Chain A
Amino acid sequence: AQKITQTQPGMFVQEKEAVTLDCTYDTSDQSYGLFWYKQPSSGEMIFLIYQGSYDEQNATEGRYSLNFQKARKSANLVISASQLGDSAMYFCAMKHLETSGSRLTFGEGTQLTVNP
């Protein structure tokens, strides 16, 4: 079974500073994908970044980067130069790539607050 653990229920950061949101995962699969989503109070899940288990380079998307440490089974999200609009709930999720039912398994989330 797949499991995602996010140990930080809440995080605070000053505007313009960087912040790291932790995510560890547990799977026996060799081929999987890791996702980070942002969920503002409106409810929509906004895709931020993706890392495949066989990708050798850490993924980056603008101000978002993923610190992927496969041996430690961690996939931490780094947000650089935080903005007030980054305040939201952040979810780490995993997908098993080898089966046809492409479900996402989500963690419990981290509530990020960016202070001015």
Chain B
Amino acid sequence: ETGVTQSPTHLIKTRGQQVTLRCSSQSGHNTVSWYQQALGQGPQFIFQYYREEENGRGNFPPRFSGLQFPNYSSELNVNALELDDSALYLCASSLNRGRGYTFGSGTRLTVV
């Protein structure tokens, strides 16, 4: 059984640009959550997708958006990047929004 895979692992973008981060769920999992982890802090919930629909959102502006595909993989899109968007972005998959979360290793985004 494969775990959660995130790509790319590292990314450098310029302020104002747009970025797309990708996540492949663990086999059999139909729910994907995204978290932002700034340096030295705990992860903050961005949003969750269940069966291709957004199913909960944290305190993040609309320029953070996402998609979940029929194979349950997911994308996180961030428009109009700001310096404060620099962080580790973690994806976690689970089955039926249950308690068994599997996290990926994250994408480290640097905005300059």
Interface residue ranges, A against B (CB under 8 Å) = 4, 33, 35, 37, 42-47, 50, 91, 93, 95, 97, 99-109
Whether the Cβ atoms of A45 and B99 lie closer than 8 Å is no
Q: How many residues of B contact A (CB 8 A)?
A: 29
Which of B48, B94, B103 touches A45 (beta carbons < 8 Å)?
Answer: B103
B45 contacts across to A, CB distance below 8 A: 103-105
Q: How far is the CA of A50 from the CA of B101 in the complex (A)?
A: 11
A103 contacts across to B, CB distance below 8 A: 33, 45, 48, 56, 58
B110 CB, min distance to chain A CBs, angstroms: 14
Whether the Cβ atoms of A102 and B56 lie closer than 8 Å is yes
B102 contacts across to A, CB distance below 8 A: 47
Residue of A nearest to B100 (CB): A47
Q: How far is the CA of A16 from the CA of B105 in the complex (A)?
A: 28
B50 contacts across to A, CB distance below 8 A: 100
B103 CB, min distance to chain A CBs, angstroms: 4
